[in-house]
């Protein structure tokens, strides 16, 4: 289907884009990679009268080291993150970028568009939820920084004000002795995951000193499995401790039955993904190189 006709605006800076969006009001949307917005427009599930294109704004696609953090410009494509040696300093980010859809989508889709879209099945919000992550925003009233946990408030809903844009995503590089893994279970490459799991932990010998666990596609937003984290915290990761943590993961998940499976199936699936991600995260924390990719049905 063709989208409704719309006016096209090419912004020269994020400031100009924000001003234009504020001026044009509710019927205007920013266009990043178009990998969510354009399909929705073709299905006429979204019919904005104005598109403000961010693609020609210089200096919005970058991966930079900044002290103990990495900064990702909003227009950085998934493929650029997948191919970046700098981003590999946080292996969970590489896992996530490399597993999104297929190469065409990864070449166009952006990290900024993904967090702004807040799709409950999206990958970025889940992986980023296990890290110390701030979303830099720019609007006509200036700039602000919002913790990811406060940024996405519901399915497809963020705290962005009308006309406000995601400018960058800032992620703290985890401490030495840390490891993480992001695993997604998919029916095929160019579809969203049936369930996904992100685990980021820090080990002190055999004992888990710190851990964050996030679940994807089993709720309206990424879910932090706090009881599962508590079960692992301060413990050696083995045997009964892991069983208790997986029970807590099943309880934390709040999935909907759909064509990807029943709610009970998704609970079991996400627990199995967390278990596997914990194993990989521990191996990485010990300095092992472990390659991770999406798991296909």
Ligand X SMILES: Cc1cc2nc3c(=O)[nH]c(=O)nc-3n(C[C@H](O)[C@H](O)[C@H](O)COP(=O)(O)OP(=O)(O)OC[C@H]3O[C@@H](n4cnc5c(N)ncnc54)[C@H](O)[C@@H]3O)c2cc1C
**Which span sits near ligand X by CB under 6 A: 64-72, 107-115, 243-251, 278-286?**
107-115
Residue 22 in tokens: 């504020």
Q: Which of residues 165-184 bind ligand X (CB under 6 A)?
A: 165-166
Complex with ligand X: residue 119 or 134, whichever CB lies closer? 119
**Shortest distance, position 52 Cβ to ligand X, whole Å:** 8
Helices 239-252 and 263-285, axial angle in degrees (round to 10): 140
**Shortest distance, position 166 Cβ to ligand X, whole Å:** 4
73 binds ligand X (CB under 6 A): no
Cα angle 7, 13, 14; round to 5: 85
Whole-angstrom distance, CA of residue 148 vs CA of residue 260? 27
Instruction: Give Cα 41 distance to the centre of its chain.
Output: 23
Whole-angstrom distance, CA of residue 51 vs CA of residue 6? 7
196 binds ligand X (CB under 6 A): no
Phi, psi of 235 (to 5 degrees): -115, 160
# binding residues, ligand X (CB under 6 A):
32
Q: Is 143 left (phi over 0), alpha (psi -120 to 50) or beta?
A: beta
Complex with ligand X: residue 190 or 234, whichever CB lies closer? 190
109, 139, 180, 261: which one binds ligand X (CB under 6 A): 109
122 binds ligand X (CB under 6 A): yes
212 binds ligand X (CB under 6 A): no
Residues forming beta bridges with residue 184, ordered by sequence position: 196
**Which span sits near ligand X by CB under 6 A: 114-122, 241-249, 268-276, 281-289?**
114-122
Positions of E strands within 156-280: 157-158, 165-172, 178-186, 195-204, 207-216, 223-224
Complex with ligand X: residue 31 or 292, whichever CB lies closer? 31
Q: Tell me the per-residue interface mask from 23 to 62 with ligand X, x by CB under 6 A, - otherwise.
A: ------xxxxxxxxx-x--------------x--------
The β-bridge relationship of strands 69-73 and 165-172 is antiparallel
Taking CB atoms, the residue at the shortest distance from ligand X is 109
148 binds ligand X (CB under 6 A): no
Whole-angstrom distance, CA of residue 245 vs CA of residue 252? 10
194 binds ligand X (CB under 6 A): no
- The residues that touch ligand X, with contacts defined as CB under 6 A, are 29-37, 39, 54, 74, 100-101, 105, 108-110, 112-114, 116-117, 119, 122-124, 160, 165-166, 190, 192
């Amino acid at each position: 289907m063709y989208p409704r006709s719309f006016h096209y605006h090419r912004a020269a800076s994020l400031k100009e884009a924000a001003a234009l969006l504020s001026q044009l009001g509710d019927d205007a949307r920013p266009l990043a990679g178009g990998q969510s917005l354009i399909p929705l427009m073709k299905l006429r599930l979204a019919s904005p009268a104005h598109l403000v294109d961010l693609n020609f704004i210089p200096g919005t696609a970058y991966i930079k080291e900044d002290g103990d953090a990495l900064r990702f410009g909003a227009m950085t494509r998934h493929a650029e993150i997948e191919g970046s040696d700098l981003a590999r300093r946080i292996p969970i980010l590489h896992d996530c970028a490399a597993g999104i859809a297929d190469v065409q989508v990864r070449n166009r889709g952006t990290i900024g568009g993904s967090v702004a879209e807040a799709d409950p099945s999206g990958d970025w919000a889940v992986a980023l939820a296990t890290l110390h992550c701030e979303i830099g925003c720019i609007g006509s009233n200036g700039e602000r920084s919002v913790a990811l946990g406060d940024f996405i408030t519901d399915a497809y809903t963020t705290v962005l004000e009308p006309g406000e844009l995601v400018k960058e995503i800032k992620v703290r590089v985890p401490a030495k002795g840390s490891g993480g893994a992001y695993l997604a279970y998919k029916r095929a490459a160019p579809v969203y995951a049936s369930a996904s799991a992100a685990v980021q932990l820090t080990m002190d010998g055999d004992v888990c000193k710190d851990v964050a666990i996030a679940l994807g596609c089993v709720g309206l937003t990424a879910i932090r499995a706090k009881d599962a984290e508590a079960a692992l915290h301060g413990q050696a990761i083995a045997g009964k401790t892991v069983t208790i943590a997986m029970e807590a993961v099943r309880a934390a998940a709040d999935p909907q039955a759909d064509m990807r499976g029943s709610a009970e199936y998704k609970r079991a699936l996400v627990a199995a993904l967390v278990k596997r991600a914990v194993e990989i995260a521990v191996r990485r924390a010990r300095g092992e190189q472990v390659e991770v990719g999406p798991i296909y049905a």
